[in-house]
Amino acid sequence: MPTNLLFEIEPQDASMRIDRWLADHSDGRVTRTMAQRLCDDGAVLAAGKPVNKNYKLRAGDRLEVTVPDPQQLDVAAQKIPLDIVYEDGELLVVNKPKGMVVHPAAGNPDGTLVNALLHHCAGQLSGINGVIRPGIVHRIDKNTSGLLIVAKTDRAHLSLAEQIKAHTFTRVYEAVVYGTVKQDAGTVDAPIGRHAVDRKKMCVTEHSSRHAVTHYEVIQRYQGFTHIRCRLETGRTHQIRVHMAYIGHPVAGDDVYGPQKVIAALNGQCLHARIIGFQHPVTGEYLEFTSPLPDYFTKFLATLKE
């Protein structure tokens, strides 16, 4: 049976786009892409009338959103080795290697983490994010390595999504960035949105953006590079990569936000999701896991020490 969600818009949320608002206020049950699709299908009503995906909210709007049951998954289960750090009946934590795409998309129809998870979990994954992203609570980029949490059940997914929204979900990364970071620690508080010209890129912008905060500290300085630790307060697309480039220290190896002449040996950005911590959605126990720096990262640090 479809699920009906009811909301009433507060004055401070007036003028927000409805797809963005639903993604931010549905506790993980509706992503922005899903909200846009639901609007296109006439499944989102304001004051009893269907609205389009770019509808601007008004104070007092009463929204009714009909979320259909998850569609039958049409993504192949593939026997791909996974580095499972933790697993129980509700969730698992996986250590993703550099180069693995998280979920199928154009150009990457298979060989993804989702394909591997479908085989490993025998299809037991939360359905909140729909057909293409079962179990995926948050993502890391293809060429970012490290820890990622996966929900097996909808209740786990909703709990974890709420923790991310409330900033109680711990995500700590390590990176090597270009240049000498002068401050021993700092915070980048700058909104991130889609690039106006290159829609595949994100950027710091006030236009159609979302609040984004990254805390960083220096681990070690080298000639021309700095090894840093970053803690995410928010989790926007490409957040660390965009924020570090914004302050003049793009991530080493980043072929999107870094210099045109990239460090080919890195095969992508030198960025690793090192620590993940969260409150277990059923037991309430705080769990934290740490992933060792992978070979590509330690080898690059070794060259900087020479």
Measured CA to CA, the distance from residue 100 to residue 244 in angstroms comes to 23
Measured CA to CA, the distance from residue 87 to residue 93 in angstroms comes to 6
Q: Which helix H or strand E contains 35, and what residues bound it? A: helix 32-40
Q: Which helix H or strand E contains 39, and what residues bound it? A: helix 32-40
| Half-sphere exposure (Cβ direction) of 163: Cα atoms closer than 13 Å | 22
Structure tokens, 298: 């330690």
Structure tokens, 74: 């049409």
Evaluate whether 214 touches 228 at the Cβ level (below 8 Å): no
SS3 (DSSP) at 146: strand
Exposure string for 274-297, b = 16+ CB within 10 A, e = fewer: bbbbbbebeeeeebebebebeebb
* Ordered alpha helix ranges (H), 109-209: 113-120, 154-165
Structure tokens, 276: 């993940």
Catalytic residue among 141, 189, 198, 295: 141
Maximal C-alpha separation, the chain: 67
Distances in whole angstroms, Cα of residue 89 to Cα of each of 152, 253, 265, 276: 7, 38, 39, 19
Active site residue 83: no
Residues carrying an active site annotation: 141
